[in-house]
Amino acid sequence: MEALGSSDCNLEILETLSDDAIQEITESYDGFFTTVESLISGTGDSSVEDEFVSQVYCLCKYGLDSLVRDHFLRSLEQAFEKGGASSFWQHFDAYSEKKLTNYGEEIQVVLCKALEEISVEKQYHEKCLSIVVHALQSYKEQSSVDRQTSDTERVHLFSRFQSMLSSTLMTTLPQHFPEILHWYFKERLEELSAIMDGEQEDDCMDLDEKLRYKNGEMDVDEGYSQGKRLGHDKLVKNIGKVVRDLRSIGFTSMAENAYASAIFLLLKAKVHDLAGDDYRTSVLESIKEWIQTVPLQFLNALLSYLGDSVSYGTTSSDLTSPLACCPSPSFSKVVTPSEGIVRWKLRLEYFAYETLQDLRIAKLFEIIVDYPESSPAIEDLKQCLEYTGQHSKLVESFISSLKYRLLTAGASTNDILHQYVSTIKALRAIDPAGVFLEAVGEPIRDYLRGRKDTIKCIVTMLTDGSGGNANGSGNPGDSLLEELMRDEENQENVGFDDDFHTDDKQAWLNASRWEPDPVEADPLKGSLSQRKVDILGMLVDIIGSKEQLVNEYRVMLAEKLLNKTDYDIDTEIRTVELLKIHFGEASMQRCEIMLNDLIDSKRVNTNIKKASQTGAELRENELSVDTLTSTILSTNFWPPIQDEPLELPGPIDKLLSDYANRYHEIKTPRKLLWKKNLGTVKLELQFEDRALQFTVSPTHAAIIMQFQEKKSWTYKDLAAVIGIPIDALNRRVNFWISKGVLKESTGANSDSNVLTLVESITDSGKNEGEEELLTGEEESETSIASVEDQLHKEMTIYEKFIMGMLTNFGGMALERIHNTLKMFCVADPSYDKSLQQLQSFLSGLVSEEKLEFRDGMYLLKK
């Protein structure tokens, strides 16, 4: 018996068998075959079963129990393959050709039906299997002492059956079935979501209650929205049934994949739907709420329906606390059901954060464009990034969109600067330490340094605040002036922080507040303390030094002040005060003097008027002193002013010299020196048929006044009388020609061209529109030498040095020229220019074709 029972069939056993035994085996073997067949096909009645059991006994007696198992399973497999599996798949054959999107409603029915059928078949097979198991067991019980094997027998056989079943199905799996499943769950979830959305409106339970509610404690809120609840429960039950059936045929992971991906898809769609292109509202909360109400409730219901939550719970509680080997029953009962859900919740929320983050990062450029309005979106993004930690993604994508959309030749410097400022502000909100800002700001700064008008734009942004300079509609500068003011408010604290901390307590506080840099920080770029996020500082950083910025501002201020006729400088004073706070009193000294000049001028002007009030009656052609006002400058402190000689007509000249004399009387021994070409003149041209008012420069006025006596002038004569060069005259005259006041008639050569006054409007056949362009050009002329011109003038001293250097050394790189100049030009005037200034000067020389620039080296042009 022992020999026969052993599993290895050595052939000697065959010889020990008697003929009778062989006869018996053969008979029962045949009988076994037929009974198995009839049993599986279900054709026989209860007698078949009995016969089957006896055959099994007989075979087992000869140690052929493994044969019994193998054959039985093999026949089951064949039967299942022929019947269950193929008919199951047949249900879905009709859909093999269709695309994912249009399976239609009936698929639900088909799926349910198919699953139903296959479950029935499976149950039948299981019943057959249990007969075998039973037979084997009872045989063993009779013959063996080893009782424990009985249950393993069962488990073993059923698991073999299960894997046989699912492998059969898997091998015949049509390609489109996962899609069908996916589609099914998607449809059901959408349906569910719709139900939930409707429910949400009249649902004001808090979440705890909801969870308890879903966990089956129906008695708590039984009467509550029963109808919808029923619909919802039914739906969940249906889905649960499908999932359970799928599991039972071994599709556990496929089913889970399908509903997980359906949930994620739905969540993604929801996020996209909620977030959209509206950056003015925060969506994170509503997304979280939605996760809580729709997918989580669904999962909760599903898992509790499947009875899974408990098993989830036990495994996870084992995982989380290996020390707590036997948790108190009440404890585990409360906590465990939610464990699986908690995992799902974390998964879903992470997914939502990631989706929203990707969505926002992709649109970050637009979000920053309308930054102050879009701050809710920024806030969302910040929260998402806190969870996902994918800051580097943000930096990369934002830099590439900056390069593609902002840092191009087509974008105006103003726009770039404005975007830069918004970027600083927005990223400051996301990351107060400024680590990512540094990475993002780098390309913008580099690009801006290459633009010529950057300084000018920055200064304009700084100063053209809300103060109402006429040309600014929707002025982007407001934000920067605001920034200045904000700085002013913070000034006290900053000053305190920057000072030495004599107080130990304060030092301790600072030390305890220290936080390490985020891991993404570039260690090469200094530590947190140096990386103060300061917009003005970052702007100044673009320019290179605050001196350059202040210089540029001074030029702009001068221009502005010279054009003032009403001494109203309140806004300028304010701006200068703010800049003073930021850049220090010393560097703004000259600007202050300029403002002071204006204030003094106002005072002097009233004094002079008062003094001349007593003057005699005006004679013919004389002008009242009241028409004259003046701005008196302390020239040394103003930027170089373009002085142009100009002969003013007699009456005006007299007026000016009278004024100057009065000044001398009041302020002895000081004297006035007129800059006759500067200023503004408001005049009226009185023609026979009309009167025209203009506000022009003194030069223009001088020109037109010459036509009072004489109706036509040649350019040459007019230039001589007014005392300006002919080309300068040409430019000025264009203004009057464009206004239709003067007319040009060609003479023999260009010098003898004659200008004639257009006395009445009928003589003027002017096309006004065309000439407007010329005026625009004229308007842009400035009286202050621009910073570039000044720089150029200062740099020309070094031109000889540079030329000599290049003759001696051949080609030299920018840095080397800079260093050499620094080394050798120490005497009067010492070389104090920055690298950028030198670079722009050199590129000027290149464009003048004096130098050549090749491979980063400057060479003499041959």
Partner 1 sequence: MKVKILRWHAVASWTWDAQDETCGICRMAFDGCCPDCKLPGDDCPLIWGACNHAFHLHCILKWVNSQTSQAHCPMCRREWQFKE
The count of other CB atoms within 10 Å of the CB of residue 120 is: 11
699 binds partner 1 (CB under 8 A): no
The tokens describing 851, both together, are: 């130098």
Instruction: Among 609, 667, 766, 816, indicate the residue that binds partner 1 (CB under 8 A).
Output: 667
Stretch of residues binding partner 1 (CB under 8 A), selected from 246-254, 471-479, 527-535, 675-683: 675-683
Residue among 632 and 817 whose Cβ is closer to partner 1: 632
Stretch of residues binding partner 1 (CB under 8 A), selected from 416-424, 589-597, 761-769, 844-852: 589-597
672 binds partner 1 (CB under 8 A): yes
680 binds partner 1 (CB under 8 A): yes
589 binds partner 1 (CB under 8 A): yes
CA distance 552 to 459: 7
The tokens describing 346, both together, are: 């974390």
Q: Looking at residue 510, what DSSP letter applies?
A: H
Residue among 374 and 677 whose Cβ is closer to partner 1: 677
Instruction: Among 165, 368, 608, 652, indicate the residue that binds partner 1 (CB under 8 A).
Output: 652
Stretch of residues binding partner 1 (CB under 8 A), selected from 93-101, 126-134, 380-388, 700-708: 700-708
Residue among 277 and 626 whose Cβ is closer to partner 1: 626
736 binds partner 1 (CB under 8 A): no
110 binds partner 1 (CB under 8 A): no
CA distances from 721 to 573, 678, 735, 743, 752 (A): 41, 18, 19, 19, 15
Instruction: Among 366, 592, 771, 852, indicate the residue that binds partner 1 (CB under 8 A).
Output: 592
766 binds partner 1 (CB under 8 A): no
Q: How far apart are the first and last CA of the chain?
A: 113
Residue among 432 and 650 whose Cβ is closer to partner 1: 650
Stretch of residues binding partner 1 (CB under 8 A), selected from 212-220, 308-316, 704-712, 727-735: 704-712
658 binds partner 1 (CB under 8 A): no
The tokens describing 455, both together, are: 């300084």
Instruction: Among 693, 749, 767, 807, indicate the residue that binds partner 1 (CB under 8 A).
Output: 693
Residue among 258 and 733 whose Cβ is closer to partner 1: 733
Residue among 64 and 579 whose Cβ is closer to partner 1: 579
- Residue 456 CA from chain centroid, whole number: 28
Q: Partners of 773 in the beta sheet?
A: none
675 binds partner 1 (CB under 8 A): yes
612 binds partner 1 (CB under 8 A): no
Instruction: Among 82, 532, 682, 793, indicate the residue that binds partner 1 (CB under 8 A).
Output: 682
Q: Partners of 812 in the beta sheet?
A: 858
> Do the bridges between strand 742-745 and strand 812-813 make them parallel or antiparallel, or are there none, so unpaired?
unpaired
Question: Is residue 570 exposed (0-12), middle (13-18) or buried (19+ Cβ within 10 Å)?
Answer: exposed
Instruction: Among 265, 274, 310, 660, indicate the residue that binds partner 1 (CB under 8 A).
Output: 660
Residue among 130 and 607 whose Cβ is closer to partner 1: 607
The answer, yes or no, to whether the previous bond of 669 is cis (omega within 30 of 0) is yes
673 binds partner 1 (CB under 8 A): yes
CA distance 587 to 549: 10
Nearest CA among 589, 676, 684, 685 for reference residue 637: 589
Q: Partners of 745 in the beta sheet?
A: 754
Instruction: Among 309, 413, 629, 738, indicate the residue that binds partner 1 (CB under 8 A).
Output: 629
Give the shortest CB-707-to-partner 1 separation in angstroms: 6
Residue among 436 and 638 whose Cβ is closer to partner 1: 638
670 binds partner 1 (CB under 8 A): yes
669 binds partner 1 (CB under 8 A): yes
Instruction: Among 507, 623, 797, 826, indicate the residue that binds partner 1 (CB under 8 A).
Output: 623
Stretch of residues binding partner 1 (CB under 8 A), selected from 138-146, 343-351, 429-437, 670-678: 670-678
Instruction: Among 48, 170, 195, 685, indicate the residue that binds partner 1 (CB under 8 A).
Output: 685
698 binds partner 1 (CB under 8 A): yes
Question: Is residue 111 exposed (0-12), middle (13-18) or buried (19+ Cβ within 10 Å)?
Answer: buried
Stretch of residues binding partner 1 (CB under 8 A), selected from 214-222, 269-277, 338-346, 697-705: 697-705
635 binds partner 1 (CB under 8 A): yes
| Non-local CB neighbours of 189 within 8 Å, separated by 6+ positions | 259, 262, 263, 266, 294, 295, 298
The tokens describing 414, both together, are: 């103003």
Nearest CA among 444, 448, 475, 449 for reference residue 462: 475
600 binds partner 1 (CB under 8 A): yes
Ordered DSSP codes for 581-605? HHH-TGGGHHHHHHHHHHHHHHHHH
681 binds partner 1 (CB under 8 A): yes
| Non-local CB neighbours of 580 within 8 Å, separated by 6+ positions | 588, 592
Using CB under 8 A, which residues numbered 746 to 765 contact partner 1? 757, 759
683 binds partner 1 (CB under 8 A): yes
Give the sign of the dihedral formed by CA 226, CA 228, CA 229, CA 234: positive
Give the shortest CB-593-to-partner 1 separation in angstroms: 6
Instruction: Among 674, 714, 720, 811, indicate the residue that binds partner 1 (CB under 8 A).
Output: 674
CA distance 251 to 114: 14
562 binds partner 1 (CB under 8 A): yes
Using CB under 8 A, which residues numbered 565 to 584 contact partner 1? 565
627 binds partner 1 (CB under 8 A): yes
Nearest-10 crossing angle of helices 46-61, 106-143 = 50
190 binds partner 1 (CB under 8 A): no
Instruction: Among 704, 722, 812, 845, indicate the residue that binds partner 1 (CB under 8 A).
Output: 704
Residue among 553 and 707 whose Cβ is closer to partner 1: 707
The count of other CB atoms within 10 Å of the CB of residue 216 is: 12
What number of chain residues touch partner 1 (CB under 8 A)?
A: 54
Alpha helices in 172-275 (DSSP H): 177-201, 207-214, 226-248, 252-275
> Over 242-256, what HEC string results?
HHHHHHHCCCHHHHH
CA distance 58 to 67: 12
814 binds partner 1 (CB under 8 A): no
Residue type, 386: E
The tokens describing 672, both together, are: 């006035």
Residue among 578 and 757 whose Cβ is closer to partner 1: 757
633 binds partner 1 (CB under 8 A): yes
| Non-local CB neighbours of 556 within 8 Å, separated by 6+ positions | 456, 459, 460, 463
- Asked if residues 364 and 394 have their Cβ atoms less than 8 Å apart, the reply is yes
393 binds partner 1 (CB under 8 A): no
630 binds partner 1 (CB under 8 A): yes
Q: What are phi and psi of 68, to 5 degrees?
A: -60, -50
CA distance 38 to 113: 26
Give the shortest CB-549-to-partner 1 separation in angstroms: 21
Residue among 193 and 629 whose Cβ is closer to partner 1: 629
Give the shortest CB-688-to-partner 1 separation in angstroms: 8
Nearest CA among 95, 103, 40 for reference residue 71: 40
Instruction: Among 350, 687, 809, 824, indicate the residue that binds partner 1 (CB under 8 A).
Output: 687
CA distance 231 to 106: 19
Q: Reduce the DSSP state of residue 718 to 3 states and report it.
A: helix
Give the shortest CB-659-to-partner 1 separation in angstroms: 8
In the complex, the residues that contact partner 1 under the rule CB under 8 A are: 562, 565, 589, 592-593, 596, 600, 623, 627-637, 652, 655-656, 659-660, 663, 667, 669-676, 678-688, 693, 698, 701, 704-705, 707-708, 757, 759
